[in-house]
Structure 1
Amino acid sequence: MATGQKNRMFRTHVDIPQKKRAQLVTLLNQHVAEALDLYSQVKQAHWNVKGKHFYSIHTLTDTFAAEVIEFVDDLAERATALGGYVHGTVRMAAEATTLPEYPMDLVDDMGHVAALVDRIGHFASSVRSAIDTAEELGDKDTADLYTGISRQVDKRLWFFEAHLQGEGDHE
Structure 2
Amino acid sequence: MHDEIKSRRAAALKTPTGLGADATKDISAAATTLLADVFALYLKNKNFHWHMSGANFRDYHLLLDEQGDQLFEMTDPLAERVRKLGGTTLRSIGDVSRRQRIQDNDADFVHPHEMLAELREDNGTLVASMRSLHDTCDEYGDVATASLLENWIDEGERRVWFLFEILRGTNR
TM-score, normalised by the number of residues in structure 1:
0.87
Does 106-115 or 31-40 show the bigger shift? 106-115
Q: Unpaired segments of 5 or more residues in structure 2?
A: 1-5
Q: Is the 8 A contact 2:130 2:153 kept in 1?
A: yes
Tell me if 1:33 matches 2:36: yes
Pairing of 1:1-150 with structure 2 (within 5 A): 10-102=13-105, 104-150=107-153
Q: C-alpha root-mean-square deviation of aligned residues, in Å?
A: 2.0
Shift of 1:80: 0.7
Identity %: 26
Using the alignment, how far apart are the partners of 2:112 and 2:98 within structure 1? 29
Q: Is the 8 A contact 2:36 2:100 kept in 1?
A: yes
Q: Unpaired segments of 5 or more residues in structure 1?
A: none
Structure with greater Cα Rg: 2
Structure 1: which 4+ aligned runs deviate by more than 3 Å? 8-13
- The residue type paired with residue 131 of structure 2 is R
The structure whose residues are more often helix, as a share, is 2
TM-score, normalised by the number of residues in structure 2:
0.86
Residue number among 154, 157, 164 corresponding to 1:154 in the alignment: 157
- The residue type paired with residue 119 of structure 2 is L
Question: Paired residues, what number?
Answer: 163
